[in-house]
């Protein structure tokens, strides 16, 4: 291994571990709040709506799939949808109304009171994510955000905010998928769909 490669390797892991530690120390309370909100949503017959751009779109699809299919073991499906997958809808909305309405239009069509809307944006500045959260609030939907850096303008539109304490996009994204998968595992437990004690008592 060359010196430069080893230096890069060690630097990346050092930053990852530092952000992981900071996230561990900072976000238990909002994570528990999100878990309770998700549990209440599913128990009441609602669904979880995920949305984001780029890598965050990938996270939205990944997490929705973990819930509708399975996470650790076979169990009943959990209602979730990623608003990033219907290419006909995405291109029509983008063409007819503008990219900034990409997710808000779908929230207006598919969302209802009792659902949970989770927007994912590393910067908190994605206007189409912000607009979807605003639309969700109009419908009485609980809103949550996975973000980082300062939280951006997205923060004020989230009832629950998981703001990763980092300014590095890659590190923020790594924590988003970690937190998202932890939510899937804890939600399975809280709903009694897998063996084990609930991750947290429902409110």
pLDDT (tens, 9 = 90+) of the chain, 203 residues, equals 688 899 999 999 999 999 999 999 999 999 999 999 999 999 999 999 999 999 999 999 999 999 999 998 899 999 999 999 999 999 999 999 999 999 999 999 999 999 999 999 999 999 999 999 999 999 999 999 999 999 999 999 999 999 999 999 999 999 999 999 999 999 999 999 987 766 666 54
The region, left, alpha or beta by phi > 0 then psi within -120 to 50, assigned to residue 98 is left
pLDDT at residue 200 in the model: 66
Burial class of residue 87, CB neighbours in 10 A (0-12, 13-18, 19+):
exposed
CB 128 within 8 A of CB 53: yes
Backbone φ and ψ of 27, nearest 5°:
-115, 15
pLDDT at residue 101 in the model: 98
pLDDT at residue 202 in the model: 55
In-domain check, residue 197: no
Q: How many CB atoms lie within 10 A of CB 35?
A: 21
- Give the H/E segment covering residue 114: none
In-domain check, residue 201: no
In-domain check, residue 117: yes
pLDDT at residue 203 in the model: 47
Q: How many domains does the chain have?
A: 1
| Cα distance between residue 35 and residue 41, in whole Å | 10
In-domain check, residue 78: yes
- CATH code of the domain containing 23: 3.40.50.10490
| Cα distance between residue 135 and residue 104, in whole Å | 6
In which domain, by residue range, is 151 found? 3-190
In-domain check, residue 108: yes
In-domain check, residue 198: no
In-domain check, residue 200: no
Backbone φ and ψ of 29, nearest 5°:
-60, -50
In terms of pTM, does the model score above 0.85?
Answer: yes
In-domain check, residue 163: yes
CB 114 within 8 A of CB 143: no
């Amino acid at each position: 291994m060359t010196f430069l490669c080893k230096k890069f390797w060690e630097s990346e892991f050092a930053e990852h571990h530092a952000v992981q530690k900071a996230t561990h120390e900072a976000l238990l309370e909002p994570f528990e709040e999100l878990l309770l909100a998700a549990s209440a949503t599913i128990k009441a017959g609602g669904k979880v709506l995920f949305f984001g751009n780029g890598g965050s779109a990938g996270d939205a699809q990944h997490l929705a799939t973990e819930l509708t299919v399975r996470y650790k073991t076979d169990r009943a499906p959990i209602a979730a949808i990623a608003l990033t997958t219907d290419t006909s809808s995405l291109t029509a909305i983008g063409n007819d109304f503008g990219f900034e309405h990409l997710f808000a239009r779908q929230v207006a069509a598919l969302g209802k009171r009792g659902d949970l809307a989770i927007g994912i944006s590393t910067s908190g500045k994605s206007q189409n994510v912000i607009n979807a959260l605003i639309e969700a609030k109009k419908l009485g939907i609980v809103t949550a955000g996975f973000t980082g850096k300062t939280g951006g303008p997205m923060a004020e539109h989230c009832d629950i905010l998981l703001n990763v304490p980092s300014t590095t996009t890659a590190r923020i994204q790594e924590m988003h998928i970690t937190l998202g998968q932890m939510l899937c595992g804890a939600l399975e437990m809280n709903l009694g769909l897998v063996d084990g004690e609930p991750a947290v008592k429902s409110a």
